[in-house]
Amino acid sequence: MAVWDFTSFSFVYKKRKDMEAFIWIALIGGPGTAKHAVKDAMVAADGFVPMEPQNTVPLHPDGMSLQVQMMVSRWRMQREIQKRTADEDLVTVRTLWDTHAVYSGLMLRHNEITDREFCQLRNIDAALTETVEPPTVIIHLKATRISQAQRLGLRQRTQLSDEYLTDLARLYNDFADRIRIPVVEIDAGRPFEEVLTDVRGEIMAVRASRQTGGPTIWQKSFWSGGAAGA
């Protein structure tokens, strides 16, 4: 069986030389972390422009085809981001990086793809990520506390088992710990207004760093930690 971890994945942070005119914040997290509600609030009140992938249904919608389609649609979205000349700040939900690292691993764990298909997806991901730039920062909305009622609601809404939801949360935590892109974790298991206040604090910090012409707080933390050469 293929190894179900991400220690060998080549997540590389590259300087966004051609993307300095705007901030790109990517929101990630499992079900129940209010990613889309946070995105909508950032668009409505904080001046962000949303970017969404253009998804198409594969001819043969098996697990492998669906995952390839998801990866390619996000790759295309990120290529479009790199072509932008406007200075509007952007927000996206998920990225090419977590699409593979989290969801391919989840599908392998639950026998929705084979070991061979997982390795093929890893090779596709490596080829795609070489051609795109990362976001300014990833905000990981981390569900640290989910009540029994919330979990029941998630099961009913998503038709996913407790085991599936638990594995998804664990994979997102592993991804956020390992990827070589600046990540800020925010506890999403609190009232929505508290979560949004923390998100806006991070937005203010990165915008202030851009105005002063210095590296963002995430870049400082990332490079000072020596991750670039790890």
Domain boundaries, the chain: 17-208
Span 89-117, pLDDT tens digits: 999 999 999 998 999 999 999 898 999 99
pLDDT of residue 7: 37
Helix H or strand E encompassing 19: none
Looking at every residue in the chain, the average pLDDT score rounds to 78
pLDDT of residue 156: 52
pLDDT of residue 226: 33
Long-range contacts for 212-220 (Cβ within 8 Å, ≥24 apart)? Answer: 216/136, 216/137, 216/182, 218/136, 218/137, 218/182, 218/183, 218/184, 219/182
- Residue in this structure with the two tokens 């997806």, named with its chain if needed: 121
Q: In 3D, which of 43, 39, 71 has the Cα closest to residue 55? A: 71
Superfamily holding 17-208: P-loop containing nucleotide triphosphate hydrolases (3.40.50.300)
Its pTM stands at 0.79
pLDDT by position in tens, the chain (length 230): 333 333 333 444 444 445 567 899 999 998 778 899 999 999 999 999 999 987 655 445 578 888 998 999 999 999 999 988 888 999 999 999 999 899 999 999 989 899 999 999 999 999 999 899 889 999 999 876 554 445 555 555 555 677 887 888 889 989 988 887 889 999 998 899 999 999 999 999 988 887 766 544 444 343 333 333 33
pLDDT of residue 38: 96
Q: How far apart are CA 194 and CA 206, in angstroms?
A: 19
| 151, burial (CB in 10 Å: exposed 0-12, middle 13-18, buried 19+) | middle
pLDDT of residue 164: 82
What are the angstrom distances between the C-alpha of 93 and each of 49, 90, 112, 222?
A: 12, 10, 23, 22
pLDDT of residue 199: 96
Residues 6+ away with beta carbon under 8 Å from 17: none
